Structures are given as structure tokens and as C-alpha cells.
Amino acid sequence: MKKSDKMPKNTQNPYEEANLFSKLSYWWLHNLIQTGLKKEITEDDIYPAAKSHKSSEISKTFNKHWENEKKKSQPSFLNVIFKACGLSVLTFGFIGTSVKSLSRIVRPLFLGGLILYYTPTTDNSSNDISLGQAYIYATGIVLTTLLPLFLFHPMQLFYFETSMKIKVACTTLIYEKILRMSVCTVTDGINGQAANLLSNDIATFDYATCFLQELWVGPVEAILMGYFIYKEIGYHGLVGIGVMVTFIPFQAWIGKMSANIRLRTALRTDKRIKYMNEIIQGVQTVKMYALENIFGKHVNEIRTKELNAIKKSFFIKATLLSFHVLPQVAIFVSFVMYAYLSEDPITAKKAFIVIAYFNALRQSLIDFWPLAISSVAEGYVSCTRIEKFLLLDESKEKFNAIDPKINGFSNEIDSKKKTQKRITSKIVENDPKIVFKEATAYWVRDQKSQIAIKNIDMKLVGNQLVTIVGAVGSGKSSFLQTILGELELDYGSVDINGTLSYCSQEPWIFDASVKSNIIFNEVFDEERYQNILHICALEPDLAKLQYGDETIVGEQGTMLSGGQKARINLARTIYKKADIYLLDDPLSALDVNVGKFIFKNCIQKFLKNKLCVLVTHQMQYLSQAHHIIVMQMGGNVAIHGTYEKILSDPLLSKYIAVVSSSINTGEQTDHIEHDEQSNEKKKHDTSYNVVENNNNNSVSEINVKHTDNLVENVHERENNLMLEESTNVGSENRTQQPEKEGQSSGSVNINVYLGYFK
């Protein structure tokens, strides 16, 4: 993918070299803050990621621990997180939390001593507090207030930094898991499940990391502060603490319920995303048969169940917030009992110390402790879901293979004979080759009826054009998937010598320029790139764009037609230097003339010194192929060989006619664009004529005799889907920048604050 030519001004993160004071005071950010005072902060002003924050380093550590964990009988992803980050979180978290707790415990004692100094003495009592001691108490109050203040934000930064590493590692592991999974193991809804894990589940690690220490802080502070309350007002204070402690089991039960609701919500979200993906994939059928209301009703039912689970989680949070009144009730009960049952008066010192302790208990025992329970529980649920996803099978579970040579599939093969051997190596001095040895594969594991290819035994060697034809569902794409290794073998082997480049049947375009989509991650070669544009018939399309090949395409850019996407997809495949090219029906979405031009110039000429395997439904190209493979239903190869060999068999000649008929009737949707153009074409007396389309733009059509001059004389009708505003072809600025998100700047009006306080 193309990187930006403009490098950021900051090449190093100042946090890496910051001292302790700079980290505690955030002084390392002062340059960025000064920049923000002078102008709007842009992407170039942001510091680059620290070395310890780079995904490559983080994922490397987690991958190492996860690979070791998978060797156990019961692997746990929680152990991986603990090994990678647990020690630092527990160590630094314990130190920081201990300092904070100690400050909250000692501060009321300093406050009591200072109040005692200002308390007027009577004839029978004296406070015995000197001025020096009063200064010490005052200094203690200041220090115990400032110390947690200085530690709070650095500790929060440390917690969020740790959770960021966990999230980055989880994201990497999930993506790598998806890439390793074969097409046989990718079940319906797997993409939705992965999206839910990446968008919702990993977000729970933020709160789980921040509130982890609060699990032990609440009970420990309750014990210590209860002791000091007991010293001030005796057992009467313990009654108030008992009022607060009584609700702890209820809070624990709520935390467990919160975890269950979180799991239920995640499962229902997975179901909704899976259902929506199925609807989107079949939206044409839904619209064709007017099934919108029926499917909409089902979606509403699923969404309602999901919202009910979300509502329950908010009810739980509201219940936890209602516990904030407990400290005031506890204080009231304690002082009422002390006033009626104790002979000692309530002094200012006792009142302030006890109230301060109860308020501190409110934070640790009422606010943070229940939140810690629910957050850690939700984090544990998310961790379990990620673990379950990472442990999904990456390959098919091998069932007892059936001998494909025997009719009826009655005899089983010895399990020792089964193999998944697949050798891929690049030997420059030898010709590329693909060798199938009795290869048999099933699409769906444990379902022998779902056969993909059956007993294929052939050898493709040298630089030649191999075409694969067959009826719909006969196994043409499965043939290529087996070569790629995406479809695992249940029997036999496939040996491959040479590097591969694959063009999928469904074009894939990402949000970037046309040039970036073609080059992808290869090294840019100007001469090869321009040649690719020509042989893939992309030059007329780029000529109509204001920014040429720098035009942004994809969901966030210029809309492309199906034919344009197919040609860019093909150009990306051809641009990569490989020994073997696998092309899965790249000509189906193209105009007849454009298809002929690409077949002649790209497939025949440009790839003449390569081993090219072409899946096609265009029977007119068979005579120009060196080797033809005819697939039949059930994944069998009916015959393979030269074109003359195919025609020599009268039965197979008739079979090819049947295949052509099946393609014409079964794959009309793949040729809608071509059919529409064919119906609109008119007879021409000259080599090409200029006709007016609906948008009054001139479109050149060319006679078949002049196919070699197609790029110069033909502008396909699909080009009209380009942006109408792209008319300034001669613009000096030939680089289109992605549309930036809007940003507002300025001061907040005083009326906003007045409206807020109202």
C-alpha cells in the first residue's frame, strides 16, 4: 500500500526520553500544547508512536506466549495476557494504589489533629497540640492531597497504555487467525463475529485494566478505615460500616449478572450481524421477491432481543449508582447510636474524622468496587470469547476419506495413505509446474456429499496458457482454491513449483488511489506499470478522471463500475511478478471487445512466458489455449488436453455445447452489463461511429475487425459512472488527497455555558 510522500515533522516520541518529573507533570507534551495554542493541530504535528507501542513488537510478544499456551491441554488466553502485561500491571498498580490508599487513610488523622489544635480548651481539658505540630498536620494534609493527584494521571496513562497493548495484540491475533483459516473452516457469520470482537469485546479491556486494583482496595480499606472509626466512636461506627457491608453480596451478585448479560448481549449482537450479512449478500433476491417486510420483521425481533439485554445492563448500572446514598445513611446511623448509647459528646474532631472516613469508603466500597467487579467480569467474558475464537479450527477435521476411484464411495482408504502434502518452492532455473496426484477435497467438513474436486491427476508444466471450463458448480474455482492452499485436500497431493499470483472472481478494491490499488505492496516500476495500464484497457478510464491514476476509489472515493473494478483487480494481479498466474474468470464482467483486447494483449502476449491458469466461460478462447481442462459436475475432470484432443471426442464436443448452454442460462447475472450493451449496439457501416448516450457524452464504439485499436477508439459505457465533476483533465495538481473530516475551531460562546447551567 502506498505510503504518504510527506513525512511527519516529529520523528521521535519525546515520552521515550522524558525523565520522571516530565512524565509526572506531562512536561513532555509542552511543545505540542504550544503548537495547539498557535494553530490547529494537524496529523503532522502528532508525535509518532513509541517503539514499545508498535504493533509489530506487541504482537510478537503475544504471539510467542500464545503459541506456547496452545501446547497445553487447556490453553487460556488470560494466561497470555498475564505473562505479557500482568507483572507490570500488578507491580506498578499495587505501588500506585497503595500510595493512594495510604494517603486517604492518613489524611483524616492529619485533619483531626489540625482541628484539635483550633478546638477551644476548657478548664478540665487541653489539646496539647503545639504550633509546630499544627504545621506538621497541615503539611501532611497538603502532601496526602497532592501525592495522589500527581500519581493519578500517570497511573491512568499506564493503565490505558497497557490496555492499548492488549487491544492491539488481540486485533493482530484475530486478523492473523482469519488469514490462517481455510475457506473450509470459515462458517457463516465468522466475519460478523470477528467484527464484534474487534469493535466491542476488546473495548472492555480499558475498564478492566483500570479497575483491576480496586478489587482488593475496597475490602482492605474497609477493614483499615473501620479500625480508625472504631477508635473514634467505638462499636457504634461499626454499625454504620455494617450497613454498607450488608450490600456487598448484593453487589457481587449484580457483578455476576452483569457478566452474564454482557455475554448474552455479545451473542445476540453476533446473531444480528450474521443475519444482516446474509441479507446484504442476498439483497437482490430480497428486493426481487419483495421480501423486505418479512426480513425487516426478523431483524426487528433480533434487534429487540439485543436491546433488551442492553437495557438490563443499564438497569444494573443505575442500581449501582443508587448505592451512593449508603454512606450518608451509615453516618446517620452511627452518630444516632453514638449520641443515644454513649456518654461521651460528639466533638468536631470525631465528627470530621468519621465523616471523612465514610466518604472515603464511599469511593472505594460503593463507587469503584462494584464497578471493578462488573468491569473485570466483562473483561473476563471478552477474554473467553477471544480465546474461543483463536482456538477455532484452521483446517478441516479429517473424516475417514472415501476412495474416489470406486463407484458409490463404498470403500474407505487407510488413514495412513491420506496426505495434505503441498510443496511450494521457487526454482528459477526450472519451469513452473503444478502437479495434481489423485487430489480429492470436500468443501464442508464431515459432509462427504459436499465434494469440491474429485480424483484429479494431471501435470501442468512450463510456460503455457491453461483454460478451465465447465458448468456452474462443477469445481472450476475449487480447482484454483486447491492450488492456493485455501481448500485443503482430503486425499492426494498438489505439488507447486513457483510463486503464485491470484485474481479473484469477485474484484476487491480498497480505499486508495487507482495506482495504489494496482501496485499494492510491490515495488513501483514505471515501465511495467504503464504497460499494465495499456494491456488492461485502463487508459481510457484514467483519461476521463481529473486526477488520473491518483484518483481515490473505493467506498470513500469515486464509484467504479463492475468492469472497471474487474480490470483494476486484474491489473493488480498481473503487476505482481510471479511464475504462475491464477485468473478466476476475470473477463466475465467485461464488454466483448474489451475482453478480446485484454485476452490478446494481456493473457496471450504479456503472460506468454508464464504458466497461466484461466477459468473462463468464454468458449471462443479455447482454440487459443495450449491446454484445456473440462470440469463436470461433482468436481471431476471430464477430459484435459489440447483443443484438437477435445474436439476429437464427439461426446465431449457435445458436452462443451451443453456447458455453453448452462453458462448462458445459469450465469446471466455475470453478464448483465455485457447483455445491456449488446442490446443497445447498432450496426455500423464504418469501423467506428460516435453515438450519444443518455448523458449526451460521446461514446466510441468499434467494429470487431478493429479490436487492436480498441483502447484508442472505444470508451465503454461503464465509464459514464465516473464522477461528472471530473472534467478538468489538464489540471496541474494530479494528486487527489482523501477528503478530510471537518474540524471546527474557535471559542465557546458564553450562551453555551449559560444554557448548561440552566
Residues 518-547 have pLDDT tens digits of 998 888 989 999 999 999 999 888 888 878
Dist CA 393 CA 403 (whole Å)? 25
Judged against a pLDDT cut of 60, whether residue 716 lies above it is answered with: no
Judged against a pLDDT cut of 90, whether residue 405 lies above it is answered with: no
CATH 3.30.390.30 fits 433-663, yes or no: no
Residue where the block lists cell 493482530: 172
* Bridge partners of residue 691, in order along the sequence: 699
Dist CA 709 CA 345 (whole Å)? 107
Of 718, 715, 669, 716, nearest to 562 (Cα)? 718
**Sign of the torsion angle spanned by Cα atoms 428, 431, 437, 441:** positive
Residues of the chain with CATH 1.20.1560.10: 55-391
What is the per-residue pLDDT for 152? 86
Q: Identify the residue with better confidence: 650 or 526.
A: 526
DSSP H helices, 544-629, are: 562-575, 592-598
Q: Summarize pLDDT for 722-736 with one digit per residue, the tens.
A: 443 343 333 344 566
∠ CA(642), CA(644), CA(648), 5° rounding? 120
All 3 cell numbers of residue 413? 482408504
All 3 cell numbers of residue 710? 480498441
Secondary structure E strands in 617-705: 627-632, 636-641, 688-692, 698-702
Residue percentage of the chain with pLDDT more than 70? 78
What is the average per-residue pLDDT within 43-48?
83
DSSP H helices, 323-368, are: 326-341, 348-361
What is the per-residue pLDDT for 623? 83
What is the per-residue pLDDT for 472? 81
Q: Summarize pLDDT for 341-361 with one digit per residue, the tens.
A: 888 888 888 888 888 888 888
DSSP H helices, 459-561, are: 476-484, 514-519, 526-535, 539-543
What letter represents residue 507's amino acid?
P
What is the per-residue pLDDT for 570? 93
Per 3-state DSSP, the chain is made up of helix, strand and coil in percentages (nearest 5) of: 60, 10, 30
What is the average per-residue pLDDT within 482-498?
84
∠ CA(91), CA(94), CA(97), 5° rounding? 145
What is the per-residue pLDDT for 10? 56
CA distances from 68 to 56, 57, 80 (A): 18, 17, 9
CATH 2.40.10.10 fits 55-391, yes or no: no
- Give burial (CB, 10 Å; 0-12/13-18/19+) of 517: buried
Residues of the chain with CATH 3.40.50.300: 433-663
CA distances from 486 to 179, 185, 396, 478, 502 (A): 10, 10, 11, 9, 12
- Give burial (CB, 10 Å; 0-12/13-18/19+) of 394: middle
